[in-house]
């Protein structure tokens, strides 16, 4: 059985392309449904750093191509965008997923959020009925590996987040944190983290703009700041110094016209906007407005580099856990692939044993029930012993060559009697 991964991430594709391939939690079910047109089984993992499709199948080329077609066609990516795809197979694909779940493949090494996103990807695929046993096992192993990495190493000790990098970058630019005004757009996890960091650094004037006001009320209740509805966004922007945009919206929520109007009322006062959402919340040409300093998630990448270097020793320890878990999973997958061959071998052997046993018993009419049972057990145990090594041989690798040689030796191809 072949494991396939096709994806696009922050290392292979620019933000413009990644945001086209991004699938929000609200549309994941619809995309899993679409995936079924290309593949019987698959799991889609879409985070702010990547969109990946994992699948399994018997023919490597076919599964890889189906994943490429799904990503390319369904996400409306151009032909040239497919050059940004990576295609990985079998152990390499598994180890990549483990890297992802452990936070080694993230912009912020060791980040916690991605482990939850791996769990949610499996959960969504389960609900859509696109998970088979090997994929379930692969994702469960990835989740276990991610937990082990965080429990057994310091990879996630004092974790950073994109939100904290964004807020810290903005606050490092302004002169007086206590007097600056911060507007956070989005009251989800990213908004909560941003608010907590801003509050921790001494920001006093913080507004959280949320489509659902209760969510803003909830986070401002614990971290400080004022909850605001989206209709008040323009008013809040008039005297803002910093905007952290982190709403999970598929379309921009901050437009050129809106920001331009605001800036015309305050031409000499700079506005720092950090857009960490993917797809982006802020129209890119907002960055061209005089005195607006716009950054997106990729602009924060360099700031994450120092953090990445600090975590190198921990990353090496995580890699050891990954190798160990990948070995266990590969052995399971090999044994799983060999199951049909093992089954047909056992069925064939049992058929022969049972026929020989009944033929012989008919000729030995004087045997008691106890003696018959004894012979029955004896023949079963002989068959088990004979099959032990061929079965182990198949379990070590359920590849086509091994199955072919076992079929040949035991005459499973052509129905020959032993
Ligand atoms: N979580 C992180 O640490 C993290 C890190 C880096 C980047 N990001 C990016 O930040 C964004 C938010 O992530 P999250 O984890 O905070 O998501 P989340 O917990 O699901 O929160 C989503 C927030 O966005 C709002 N929202 C959703 N659709 C909207 C729309 N059409 N218009 C306006 N607001 C809308 C939601 O409001 P309602 O309650 O009204 O739905 C909610 O306040 C995503 O683009 C994500 O890729 C997140």
Position 417 scores a pLDDT of 47
CATH topology of domain 162-307: Rossmann fold (3.40.50)
Instruction: Check: CB of residue 271 under 8 Å from CB of residue 182.
Output: no
Among the atoms of ligand 1, which is closest to the Cα of residue 48? 47
Confidence of residue 411 (pLDDT cuts 50, 70, 90): confident
Tokens 């009320």 correspond to 217
Residue given tokens 């490597």 in the structure block: 60
Nearest ligand 1 atom to the CA of 215 is: 39
Out of 48, 102, 223, 246, the active site residue is 48
With a pLDDT cut of 70, the percent of the chain lying above it is 98
pLDDT given for residue 415 in this prediction: 52
246 is catalytic: no
Q: What are the pLDDT digits (tens) for 132-157?
A: 999 999 999 999 999 999 999 999 88
The band of 303, judged by pLDDT with boundaries at 50, 70 and 90, is: confident
The CATH number of 2-158 is 3.30.460.30
CA–centroid distance, residue 386 to ligand 1 (Å)? 60
**In whole angstroms, what is the distance from residue 176 CA to residue 196 CA?**
18
408 to each of 238, 401, 402, 405, 413, how far by Cα in Å?
A: 80, 11, 10, 5, 7
Q: How many Å lie between the centroid of ligand 1 and the Cα of residue 309?
A: 29
- For position 418, what pLDDT does the model report? 42
Which residue's CA is the closest to the ligand 1 atom numbered 42? Answer: 188
Q: What are phi and psi of 55, to 5 degrees?
A: -150, 170
Question: Within 201-311, where are the H helices?
Answer: 213-223, 233-237, 256-264, 301-310
In sequence order, the 6+-apart residues with CB closer than 8 A to the CB of 409 are 390
* Predicted local confidence at residue 414, as pLDDT: 58
Mean per-residue pLDDT, 321-339:
93
Q: Which residues face 177 on adjacent strands?
A: none
* Over residues 361-381, mean pLDDT: 94
Put simply, whether the predicted model's pTM sits higher than 0.85 gets the answer no
Average pLDDT, the chain: 92
Indicate if ligand 1 lies below 6 Å from the C-beta of 46: no
Per-residue pLDDT for 121 more than 60? yes
**Of the residues 25, 107, 188, which should be mutated to test ligand 1's pocket, given the most ligand atoms within 8 Å of the CB?**
188
State the average pLDDT over residues 284-295. Answer: 97
282-307 CB burial, b ≥16 within 10 A, e <16: bbeebbebeebebbbbeebbebbeeb
Structure tokens at 309: 């270097």
Confirm if 215 and 188 have CB atoms less than 8 A apart: yes
* Mutate which of 117, 184, 190 for ligand 1 pocket (most atoms within 8 A of beta carbon): 190
The domain segmentation of the chain, as residue ranges, is 2-158, 162-307, 338-410
């Amino acid at each position: 059985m072949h494991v396939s991964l096709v994806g696009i991430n922050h290392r292979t594709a620019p933000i413009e392309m990644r945001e086209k391939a991004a699938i929000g939690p609200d549309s994941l079910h619809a995309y899993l449904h679409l995936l079924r047109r290309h593949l019987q089984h698959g799991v889609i993992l879409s985070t702010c750093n990547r969109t990946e499709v994992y699948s399994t199948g018997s023919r490597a080329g076919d599964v890889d191509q189906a994943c490429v077609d799904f990503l390319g066609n369904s996400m409306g990516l151009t032909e040239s965008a497919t050059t940004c795809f990576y295609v990985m197979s079998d152990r390499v694909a598994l180890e990549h997923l483990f890297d992802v779940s452990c936070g080694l493949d993230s912009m912020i090494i060791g980040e916690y959020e991605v482990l939850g996103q791996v769990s949610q990807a499996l959960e969504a695929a389960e609900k859509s009925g696109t998970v088979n046993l090997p994929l379930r096992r692969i994702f469960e192993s990835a989740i276990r590996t991610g937990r082990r990495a965080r429990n057994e190493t310091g990879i996630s000790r004092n974790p950073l987040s994109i939100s904290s990098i964004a807020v810290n970058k903005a606050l490092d630019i302004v002169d007086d944190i206590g007097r600056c005004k911060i507007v956070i757009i989005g009251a989800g996890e990213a908004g909560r983290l941003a608010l907590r960091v801003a509050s921790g650094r001494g920001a006093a004037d913080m507004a959280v703009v949320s489509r659902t006001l209760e969510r803003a009320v909830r986070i401002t209740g614990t971290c400080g700041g004022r909850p605001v509805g989206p209709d008040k966004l323009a008013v809040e922007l008039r005297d803002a110094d910093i905007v952290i945009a982190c709403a999970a919206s598929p379309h921009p929520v901050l437009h050129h016209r809106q920001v331009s109007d605001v800036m015309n009322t305050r031409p000499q006062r700079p506005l720092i906007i950090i857009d960490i959402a993917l797809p982006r919340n802020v129209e890119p040409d907002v960055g061209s407005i005089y005195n607006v300093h716009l950054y997106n998630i990729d602009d924060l990448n360099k700031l994450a580099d120092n953090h990445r270097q600090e975590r190198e020793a921990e990353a090496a320890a995580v890699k050891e856990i990954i190798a160990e878990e990948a070995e266990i999973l590969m052995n399971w997958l090999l044994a799983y692939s060999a199951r049909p061959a093992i089954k047909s071998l056992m069925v064939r052997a049992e058929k022969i044993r049972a026929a020989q046993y009944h033929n012989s018993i008919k000729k030995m009419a004087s045997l008691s029930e106890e003696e018959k049972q004894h012979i029955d057990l004896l023949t079963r145990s002989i068959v088990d012993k004979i099959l032990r090594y061929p079965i182990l041989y198949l379990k070590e690798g359920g590849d086509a060559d091994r199955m072919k040689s076992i079929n040949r030796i035991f005459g499973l191809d052509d129905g020959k009697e032993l």
